[in-house]
Amino acid sequence: MSRLSAWGVVGFPEVKPGDQLADMIVEACRNEPNGPLLDRDVLVVTQKVVSKAEGRLVAVNPDDPLSHKALVEKEAVRIVRRRGDLIITETEHGFVCANNGVDLSNVERGQAALLPKDSDRSARRIRDVVRAKLGVEVGVIVSDTFGRAWRKGLTDVAIGVAGIAAVLDLRGTPDALGRVMQVTEVAIADELASAAELVMGKSAGIPVAVVRGADASWFREASVQELVRPPQEDLFR
């Protein structure tokens, strides 16, 4: 297996509604001190800048927590659990997460950022513009920060993909002792998003990272829906 490297793209400008995010990523990557993008690099782009560029911002009353809560309830497809200020919901994409992904951090006071309407499409647009303008074939992951039911702390996961598998299906592959493995479907897009988070740093505000060294076999047309557990498989509905 090869070496994996990840770094945050430095000097990324502030993103505003209507900005051409893909063009901004191309420009930032052109000037990157770590050197140009290469074929089979994976670009990990945080949800926040995708939502901002796509104008997925709505006004909330910054002095009234109920204003945020009402927005969460309006946007959610289903309330999964509720306790105190915490609301776990299912989004229109099928993601189960806190506050329906509606986020107040790293946006202006008085605004909340909704998840992108279709993060796969957002990822494809970035992939296509990078291909057209830089002539390289990259995978793109739109990432967000989710909690887990039984583990404390948050990790970054994929909420959109383009040109890279979301889930790698190794079922039927022999293990190291030559036996067929019982499992394994590996959520590589989530693992790549987590690796990228480590170099972005929540407070540093770096919204784009490059991961280099992904296996050639991971690159294909894909959708983040590979990661969404269908209702009939959900043991916790």
Least CB distance to a copy of itself at residue 174 (A): 6
Looking at the chain, how many residues does it have?
237
Residue range at the interface with a copy of itself (CB under 8 A); choices 51-59, 118-126, 131-139, 161-169: 161-169
Asked if 80 and 96 touch (Cβ cutoff 8 Å), the reply is yes
The answer to whether 53 contacts a copy of itself (rule: CB under 8 A) is: no
Question: Could you say which DSSP state residue 213 is in?
Answer: -
HSE-up of residue 146 (Cα within 13 Å, Cβ side): 23
The side-by-side arrangement of strands in the sheet containing 96-98 is: 78-83, 86-90, 96-98
Strand partners, 211: 6, 42
Residue range at the interface with a copy of itself (CB under 8 A); choices 23-31, 114-122, 128-136, 202-210: 202-210
By CB under 8 A, name the one of 74, 181, 220, 221 that touches a copy of itself.
181
Question: Residue with structure tokens 């702390």?
Answer: 153
Tokens found for residue 229: 């557990």
The answer to whether 66 contacts a copy of itself (rule: CB under 8 A) is: no
By CB under 8 A, name the one of 81, 92, 117, 220 that touches a copy of itself.
81
Least CB distance to a copy of itself at residue 185 (A): 5
Question: Could you say which DSSP state residue 93 is in?
Answer: T
Interaction with a copy of itself in 83-142: which residues (CB under 8 A)?
A: 83, 86, 88, 95-96, 103-109
The answer to whether 34 contacts a copy of itself (rule: CB under 8 A) is: yes
The answer to whether 216 contacts a copy of itself (rule: CB under 8 A) is: no
Least CB distance to a copy of itself at residue 37 (A): 15
Cα distances from 132 to residues 54, 86, 169, 173, in angstroms, run: 21, 43, 30, 36
Least CB distance to a copy of itself at residue 133 (A): 25
C-alpha closest to that of 44 among 203, 164, 216: 164
The answer to whether 206 contacts a copy of itself (rule: CB under 8 A) is: yes
By CB under 8 A, name the one of 53, 72, 140, 200 that touches a copy of itself.
200
Least CB distance to a copy of itself at residue 25 (A): 17
Q: Which amino acid makes up residue 214? A: A
Least CB distance to a copy of itself at residue 180 (A): 9
Please work out the total of residues on this chain that contact a copy of itself, with binding judged by CB under 8 A: 77
C-alpha closest to that of 110 among 162, 68, 156: 68
